[in-house]
Structure 1
Amino acid sequence: MIEGVKIKKLQKYTDDRGYFMEVLRDDDDLLERFGQLSASLSYPQVIKAFHYHKKQDDLWFFPTGNVQVVLHDLREDSSTYKCTDVYYMGENNPISLLIPRMVAHGYRVLGNQPAIIMYITTYSYNPLEPDEYRIPYNDPGIGFDWTTKFK
């Protein structure tokens, strides 16, 4: 696992009306501060990758759909520098994933249904000084193959 990445396994409390789930609590020891909560919908097979932040951490949760999340460590002082990790998240695996600053991240929607991401950041977005740095999804320095392999 990439250094500094944290996972919180989520618990669904169900009854005949549906379910309730706590995604983030102030005593989870995941975020050092709260900045912004955002949501986005992506259609099947869409790839949103890669980007990273120099100041903020992200906490990702996918309440609907299923995705393949790819992380790549860009921190030269990290014990996992240049390591790549893959996580499968969404309805079939409800987890919260903490992504530290300077870890490139992206995802691909799996299956035939859209996916919704809810993400919390430690700082609010500032359009005058955006803390967002892009890397192409097919960057050879990362070398990740986004295609699904069938056996």
Structure 2
Amino acid sequence: MIFNKTPLPGVLVISLDQRGDDRGFFARAYCAQEFESHGLKPVGVQCNMASNFSKGTLRGLHYQVPPAAEAKFFRCIRGANYHVVVDMRPDSSTYLEHFGVELSADNRLGLYIPEMFAHGYQALTDESEAFYMVSEYYTPGCERGLRYDDPTLNIQWPLPVTTISEKDTAWSLLPDLIPT
């Protein structure tokens, strides 16, 4: 695996290190030891899949707080998705900054999201699918979220949002969440 830094410390885009021959290629898609050697928290408690019927569908922005803060590792295994990560660590120099990247079945990129980063993604194609691993169990009492259209964040999604859950449209805006 090839670990590529992003503008947000700890968030990495991970490329496959492919070994090819006349049959095709082989590549390691995940290795806890390699993650640990790069200072990353291994992500192996749960594996999840998400399917999106239509392009424009948006999921997120979600994260969990301690004691169940979770790291995530995403891949798009069908179609293409645009992923956004927001730094939610109040003491960070990049607090509330965001980074976006396209993951697709064609580019085979992975995205590592550390604890205390909100994450969401938008389907860029019909019938897209994501596969992801998390470091903690889903804990509803620790779940938090941000609005995808929060003016404080000013995230530029690639497509108009066509489908989104009621829960994801109901998150509070950041000015209501940040103590003054």
Q: Quick one: distance in 1 between partners of 2:26 and 2:134? A: 23
Distance 1:91 1:11, change over 3 A: farther
| Alpha-carbon shift at residue 22 of structure 1 (Å) | 2.6
Q: For residue 107 of structure 1, what is the aligned residue in structure 2?
A: 121
Greater relative contact order: 1 or 2 (C-alpha under 8 angstroms, separation 6 or more)?
Answer: 1
Distance 1:130 1:21, change over 3 A: farther
Conserved? CA contact 2:41–2:114, under 8 Å: no
Conserved? CA contact 1:42–1:109, under 8 Å: yes
Distance 1:92 1:144, change over 3 A: same
Moved more, 43-52 or 22-31: 22-31
Conserved? CA contact 1:3–1:79, under 8 Å: no
Structure 2: runs of 5+ lacking an equivalent: 1-6, 161-180
Structure 1 residues 44-59: aligned runs within 5 Å: 44-54=55-65, 55-59=69-73
Q: Scaled by the length of structure 2, what TM-score is found?
A: 0.71
**1:25 pairs with 2:38:** no
Q: For residue 148 of structure 2, what is the aligned residue in structure 1?
A: 137
Q: For residue 6 of structure 1, what is the aligned residue in structure 2?
A: 12
Alignment size in residue pairs: 146
Q: Quick one: distance in 2 between partners of 1:145 and 1:120? A: 26
Structure with the largest fraction of strand: 1
Q: For residue 62 of structure 1, what is the aligned residue in structure 2?
A: 76
| Alpha-carbon shift at residue 132 of structure 1 (Å) | 1.9
Conserved? CA contact 1:3–1:78, under 8 Å: no
Q: Quick one: distance in 1 between partners of 2:123 and 2:18? A: 22
| Alpha-carbon shift at residue 106 of structure 1 (Å) | 0.6
| Secondary structure of 2:33 counterpart | coil
Letter of the 1:75 counterpart: R
Structure 1: runs of 5+ lacking an equivalent: none
Distance 1:110 1:98, change over 3 A: same
Q: Scaled by the length of structure 1, what TM-score is found?
A: 0.82
Q: Quick one: distance in 1 between partners of 2:85 and 2:18? A: 26
**1:89 pairs with 2:106:** no
Q: 1:39 aligns with which of 42, 45, 49?
A: 49
| Alpha-carbon shift at residue 92 of structure 1 (Å) | 2.9
Q: For residue 119 of structure 1, what is the aligned residue in structure 2?
A: 132
Q: 1:80 aligns with which of 94, 108, 115?
A: 94
Say what the alpha-carbon RMSD is for the aligned residues: 2.3
Q: Quick one: distance in 2 between partners of 1:16 and 1:99? A: 35
Q: Quick one: distance in 2 between partners of 1:131 and 1:21? A: 35
| Alpha-carbon shift at residue 79 of structure 1 (Å) | 2.2
